[in-house]
Amino acid sequence: MAERVVADLVVERLRAWRVPRVFGCPGAAIAPLVGALDDAGGDPAFVPARHEETASYMATGHAKFTGGVGVCLATQGPSAVHLLNGLYDAKLDSKPVVAIIGEDVTGPLGGAHEEIGLSRLFGDVCNQFVRYGRSPEQVPVLLDQAFRTAAATRSPTCVVLPRALQVTAVPDLVPQTAGVLTATPGEPLARVLPHDADLDAAASLLGNGQRVAVLVGQGAHGAAEEIVALADRLGAGVATSLLGKPVLDERLPFHTGVLGEVGTTAAAQLMGGCDTLLMIGTNDPWTDWFPMPGQVRTIQIDIDGRRIGTHYPVDVPLVGDAAETLRALLTRVPENPHREWRAMVEKMADRWRAAAAERTATPAEPVDPRLVLRELSARLPRHAGVAVDVGSVVYWYARHLELPPGVQARLCGTLGSMGCALPYAVAAKLARPDEPVLALLGDGAMQLNGLAELITVAHHWTAWRDPRLIVLVLNNRDHSGVGSGRSPGERRLEVPYAGWARLLGLHGVRVDRPDLIGPAWDEVLAADRPAVLEAVVDPAVPLDPPEPALADLRGLVADGDAARRVRERVIQTEAIAADEVV
């Protein structure tokens, strides 16, 4: 029997924490652990990425789509540096990830090949936990602490394992060290509820509101039923943050869409006309689209009290789980018999939907990207996973892709780093191989790392029960994102995205006519293998950020009376517009 070494002990702890797969790039300093993973028979599986950055995105994507802890590994030096983007994504979007770094430094410190101070390198992004393994006895403790900290703080953590330690023999009985050696893997998070006095204060404020708006963020996942029930009781309108878009059925008549620069005019109007604001699980930074100072009384619900009031003043903070806190509020909030505000909100939403449909019908050269997303809305499979990249595709996703209940959609919402969608999609597909997954990205993101990670898709797809992983590439021939990106007379290089997919044995469709967009979606959704849909779109289609309500007066209102007058003007303006529609 082969001697058990620390690398085997690491695999045992990963298995104990029910880690299904580890994403990474092999290297000399992590080779013993990779070898142990190869010998583990797929429990857990090792998924090699084409780049360490995409490995870290995959780990973060796993956390985002499954709710579990993502795990990535790399070696010291440049490989470790490459992990930072995905780990910062996890940190800023509050997702648990554990990074395991192999180190192989011999000779005097300060001059070794590929030597980087890993504690300082990861000290910010993994500020909750960065530790070195020094002995076999420490390894179970370190890994358990790393996983427990990542889960409890919803953040990335880091464990550094020297190569020499990975190949060190493990005694049959690992001695007990100071403190607790291990803890039960997967310890559930505590139940968190606000105090009764705070719930009563929030219920009173909501009950006295005449025009209530609810802003829903990613922290409200799993609370859709409670949100709809409370909004109905209050006659409220609803908007979401960008990350909160998948929480609610967007077909609800009082749902005004996404708020902010990438959002809708209806959501901006909702914020401009409300007198009471309930924020649920959101720390949205786009406060230019929030109600004006002094206009509203505000309640904010968040599981992490550190986030309450960081971007917008709050009258009643409620620290607690979204669903349970909302259920407690439902027992306290009275029914609002006045429905004028709800009727007005529904008219705002109807006007926006009509305007959005009209925009997608605008002539373009050759295809309007908004039309591509709108055609997908009618065909999006229930229970699909959707990964969205950074760039203009976010605008079209936020406004023109209608998500039915059951569809998960994830993006790098806070860090805003390009190149995340295809690694996310790979992680989502590996976690749910019997359901379709779509990645939505532009040609810039596809060139950044998508072409390489399509090789990973080609490597794995034959093992998937449902082979559909569909990559939409919005090819506007402008990967710079700032115009032509070329000097006068410079030759434009056309990258054959669909052709590259076919070269890898996948399906590829290129479409450059508006009337063929729908049939192209039908084709890739019916394909017997992963597919790339390359849509040649018009780079001149304007992004058209919605103007905040009464933008000309923002910053000029400093006192409560002025804010009241502005609010009344907003309401009067909306009432006139609603009457005109009727």
Tokens of 513: 């006519």
Query: By three-state DSSP, how is residue 485 classified?
Result: coil
pTM: 0.90
The C-alpha atoms of residue 16 and residue 477 are separated, in whole angstroms, by 48
Q: In angstroms, rounded to a whole number, what is the distance separating the alpha carbons of residues 100 and 92?
A: 20
**Residue 50 CB neighbours (<10 A):** 17
DSSP 5: B
For the chain, list the domains and their CATH numbers.
6-167 (3.40.50.970), 196-353 (3.40.50.1220), 362-485+493-536 (3.40.50.970), 551-580 (no CATH)
Each residue's pLDDT, cut to its tens digit, for the chain (582 residues) gives 468 999 999 999 999 999 999 999 999 999 999 999 999 999 999 999 999 999 999 999 999 999 999 999 999 999 999 999 999 999 999 999 999 999 987 655 555 556 788 999 999 999 999 999 999 999 999 999 999 999 999 999 999 999 999 999 998 755 554 444 444 555 566 788 999 999 999 999 999 999 999 999 999 999 999 999 999 999 999 999 999 999 999 999 999 999 999 999 999 999 999 999 999 999 888 888 999 888 999 999 999 999 998 889 999 999 999 999 999 999 999 999 889 999 999 999 999 999 999 999 999 999 999 999 999 999 999 889 999 999 999 999 999 999 988 899 999 989 999 999 999 999 999 999 999 999 999 999 999 999 999 999 999 999 999 999 999 999 998 754 444 445 555 666 789 999 999 999 999 999 999 999 999 999 999 999 999 999 999 999 999 889 887 655 555 554 455 555 555 655 565 555 455 444
Distance (Å, whole) CA 130 – CA 71: 14
Rounded-to-integer distance, Cα 425 and Cα 457, Å:
9
The two tokens of residue 575 are: 């009432």
User: Nearest 5°: phi and psi at 257?
Assistant: 100, -165
